[in-house]
């Protein structure tokens, strides 16, 4: 099985897409080979900053601890997402501009923790006897698919100011994470928080409900501007930059308690309440496969 890289430099780096392709061998994707880490680090580029948030070891330790957490608690590997997403976000302390560079995520997946990517995303062996393999997009792919980018962006888009609690809820539901994350409307903070509230309230419980809600919210956004009926506050970039600067003296991210994000204003409560009610009505009318049969009494034991 793919293991920890033999060579880990002190700093995180950027691995351009063109270089990352050369390391996506069949042996790696099937978890049977290690990444040639020395050769990989010869083609990386340095980060644009030199501060402490670029240290490699804290991020490597988080990946190892996420795997250890699931093994110790006997949890499914998918449950690592809810544990790791807020901690990865708090450890890296990135601006959105920095997070938009795929080179960082390529390096994390191939140069820092390829064993985590294999552990988290290698599917069960196919019934036809072929060898299971990880999709290449988990190593080098779009932000909503790549193993680490998807967690960082989920934490960024679902956190409520400094509170990472909603991130845990969103990442604990794979259908919310996989579907809502790619929707542009999720950049509207009251929308993101309203979706999480419906999960917390138990309105959305399973994958079918999550997919139905996401589809209804996205479709409605084509005709209704959510930022008009549920306005957000203007965000103060200074608070994010202050939080980034505080990373120079911050303690290691806690493994037991949720970290604290940038000291930004949370999404306006009135706006979130407005969308919770609106989305609940949308969901009530949304087609959910299996719901009609259950309500009619069909399909029951």
Provide the mean pLDDT of the chain: 93
Residue-wise pLDDT for 108-162, tens only, equals 999 999 999 999 999 999 988 899 999 999 999 999 999 999 999 999 999 999 9
Domain extent, residue 63, equals: 1-156
What phi and psi, each to the nearest 5 degrees, are found at residue 251?
A: -75, 165
Q: Is residue 299 part of a domain?
A: no
Alpha carbons 30 and 33: distance in angstroms, whole number:
8
Residue-wise pLDDT for 215-268, tens only, equals 899 899 988 899 999 999 998 899 999 999 999 999 999 999 999 999 999 999
Nearest to 140 by CA among 8, 35, 53: 35
Virtual torsion, Cα 274, 154, 251, 93, nearest 10 deg: -100
For residue 299, name the pLDDT band (cuts at 50, 70, 90): very low
Lowest mean pLDDT among 61-65, 203-207, 216-220, 268-272: 203-207
Q: What pLDDT does residue 161 have? A: 97
Is the predicted pLDDT of residue 75 greater than 70, yes or no?
A: yes
Structure tokens at 297: 């009494």
117 within 8 A of 5, measured Cβ to Cβ: no
Cα torsion 32, 121, 81, 160: sign: positive
Is the predicted pLDDT of residue 14 greater than 50, yes or no?
A: yes
Q: What total number of domains does the chain contain?
A: 1
Buried b (16+ CB within 10 A) or exposed e, 31-57: beebbbbeebbeebeebeeeeebbebe
Q: Is residue 108 part of a domain?
A: yes
Q: Is residue 115 part of a domain?
A: yes
Nearest to 119 by CA among 128, 107, 109: 109
237 within 8 A of 95, measured Cβ to Cβ: no
For the chain, how long is the longest CA-to-CA vector?
A: 63
Alpha carbons 182 and 171: distance in angstroms, whole number:
14
Q: Is residue 221 part of a domain?
A: no
Alpha carbons 194 and 123: distance in angstroms, whole number:
32
Alpha carbons 191 and 217: distance in angstroms, whole number:
9
Alpha carbons 181 and 99: distance in angstroms, whole number:
15
Structure tokens at 37: 């880490």
Q: Is residue 25 part of a domain?
A: yes
| Residue 90, burial from CB neighbour count under 10 angstroms (0-12, 13-18, 19+) | buried
Is the predicted pLDDT of residue 176 greater than 70, yes or no?
A: yes
Q: What pLDDT does residue 223 have? A: 82
Q: What is the DSSP letter of 112?
A: I
Q: What pLDDT does residue 300 have? A: 31
Is the predicted pLDDT of residue 56 greater than 70, yes or no?
A: yes
Q: Is residue 3 part of a domain?
A: yes
Q: What pLDDT does residue 294 have? A: 45
What phi and psi, each to the nearest 5 degrees, are found at residue 29?
A: -65, -25
Q: Is residue 297 part of a domain?
A: no
SS3 160: strand
Q: Is residue 32 part of a domain?
A: yes
């Amino acid at each position: 099985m793919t293991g920890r890289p033999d060579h880990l430099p002190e700093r995180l780096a950027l691995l351009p897409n063109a270089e990352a392709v050369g390391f996506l061998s069949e042996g790696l994707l099937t978890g049977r080979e290690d990444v040639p880490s020395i050769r990989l680090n010869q083609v990386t580029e340095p980060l644009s900053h030199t501060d402490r948030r670029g240290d490699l070891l804290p991020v490597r330790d988080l990946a190892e601890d996420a795997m250890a957490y699931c093994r110790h608690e006997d949890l499914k590997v998918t449950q690592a997402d809810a544990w790791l997403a807020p901690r990865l976000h708090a450890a890296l302390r990135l601006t959105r501009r920095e997070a938009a560079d795929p080179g960082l995520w390529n390096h994390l997946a191939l140069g820092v923790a390829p064993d985590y990517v294999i552990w988290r995303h290698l599917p069960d062996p196919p019934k036809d006897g072929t060898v299971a393999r990880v999709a290449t997009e988990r190593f080098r792919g779009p932000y909503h698919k790549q193993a680490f980018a998807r967690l960082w962006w989920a934490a960024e888009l679902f956190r409520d100011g400094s509170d990472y609690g909603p991130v845990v809820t969103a990442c604990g539901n794979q259908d919310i994470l996989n579907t809502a994350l790619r929707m542009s409307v999720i950049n509207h903070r009251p929308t993101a928080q309203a979706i999480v509230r419906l999960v917390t309230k138990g309105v959305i419980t399973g994958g079918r409900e999550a997919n139905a809600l996401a589809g209804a919210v996205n479709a409605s956004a084509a005709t209704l501007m959510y930022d008009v009926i549920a306005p957000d506050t203007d965000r103060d970039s200074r608070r994010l930059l202050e939080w980034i600067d505080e990373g120079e003296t911050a303690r290691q991210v806690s493994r037991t308690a949720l970290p604290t994000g940038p000291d930004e204003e949370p999404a306006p409560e009135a706006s979130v309440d407005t969308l919770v009610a609106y989305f609940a009505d949308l969901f009530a009318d949304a087609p959910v496969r299996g719901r009609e049969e259950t309500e009619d009494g069909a399909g029951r034991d």
